[in-house]
Structure 1
């Protein structure tokens, strides 16, 4: 039910934003660096509910220093990558999206999305289709972050899945939700080009 905000949080983890002044996209710009979460979320107006995410963030930050899997001390306030990964994992667990073996409970996520967007079946189907498109590629991408998972206590798969899902949502944003500004059109074209290179 709160997947939309979680998807945005995931995007902040995997695809860091460029500074606000740099909104041009060209062949020399890296796909990961060019994706700007704040611009994308303002371009595709899909409502969100961030109560669980706020709860998770507050809970994680209140822990101050925690011991990681390899016995080191970690402060999530200083480690934004780990913080966003832990928030995504926390939200998945709170909603029952993450199974004990680390895989996604797809029927629960799909049911949650249908319920969350019951008044807008087009958006519900877009979210579900985007999620399904990303399941395998996000697993592969998360394996690249396994070295971080051994360092941290959190699983990076939820945040990686969310980043991919939101990229698909923005590429295929319904016309009724799309803000057709010059920056938004440029971003969408760049996302499509980056998606084609995969």
Structure 2
């Protein structure tokens, strides 16, 4: 079964991330080969809420763990479960930044740089995610099983975290530098 880390990577890739290649000129219309963002910028680690949501939603019809990559609908529902379970979502399209900051500070009490980077990313992504959701709903008014707001927020938040990765969590490599340049120059994230 996919871990929550893999699921978040899927959301990141599915909603805002594009691939990279070393040596290519950065062309936002033609993204290069993929670099796994978690290899460049270490995140906070495993999250029990995310693990439980992924485990619950990513089961097959007969209750067995699904080993296939999640569908977009499943990933969207997992993202909604993560933000709802953690009480990060105050209303359908707003975040509770106080709860986010307190929760991250409790989980990562020895890593204030990570807490600040993630809290800032959530704050920056909330209005952008609201605009993206409104645009999606305007183009397709049909209500999906789970609102894409949470997936958009999580994808944007991890992209912003990647772009503003704390120095002690960043991997110095040509691939990572190219990836960061690409996402920054091409306006991915918020």
TM value normalised by structure 1: 0.75
- The aligned residue for residue 187 of structure 2 is 195
Equivalent position SS for 1:99: strand
Q: Is the 8 A contact 1:44 1:173 kept in 2?
A: yes
Structure 1 residues 10 and 115, CA gap change in structure 2 (3 angstroms): farther
What's the Cα RMSD here?
A: 3.0
1:59 Cα shift? 1.8
1:142 Cα shift? 1.8
- The aligned residue for residue 171 of structure 1 is 163
Residues of 2 paired with 1:156 and 1:149: CA distance?
A: 12
Structure 1 residues 123 and 35, CA gap change in structure 2 (3 angstroms): farther
Structure 1 residues 151 and 28, CA gap change in structure 2 (3 angstroms): same
Q: Is the 8 A contact 1:8 1:162 kept in 2?
A: no
Matched, 1:82 2:45: no
Q: Is the 8 A contact 1:43 1:180 kept in 2?
A: yes
Unaligned stretches of 5+ residues in structure 2 = 63-67
Equivalenced residue count is 178
Please give the per-residue CA displacement for 1:8-55, whole angstroms capped at 9, x wherever unaligned: 45314313654xxx5245343438x5594x621110112311432232
1:163 Cα shift? 1.2
Q: 2:21 aligns with which of 4, 20, 23?
A: 23
Matched, 1:51 2:42: no
Higher helix content, 1 or 2: 1
Please give the per-residue CA displacement for 1:45-95, whole angstroms capped at 9, x wherever unaligned: 123114322322232233639xxxxxxxxxxx7872111111000111111
Equivalent position SS for 1:107: helix
Q: Is the 8 A contact 1:9 1:88 kept in 2?
A: no
Residues of 2 paired with 1:122 and 1:115: CA distance?
A: 13
Matched, 1:144 2:135: yes
TM value normalised by structure 2: 0.77
Q: 2:151 aligns with which of 148, 155, 159?
A: 159
Unaligned stretches of 5+ residues in structure 1 = 66-76
Matched, 1:13 2:21: no
Residues of 2 paired with 1:35 and 1:140: CA distance?
A: 29
Judge which range, 146-155 or 169-178, deviates more.
Answer: 146-155
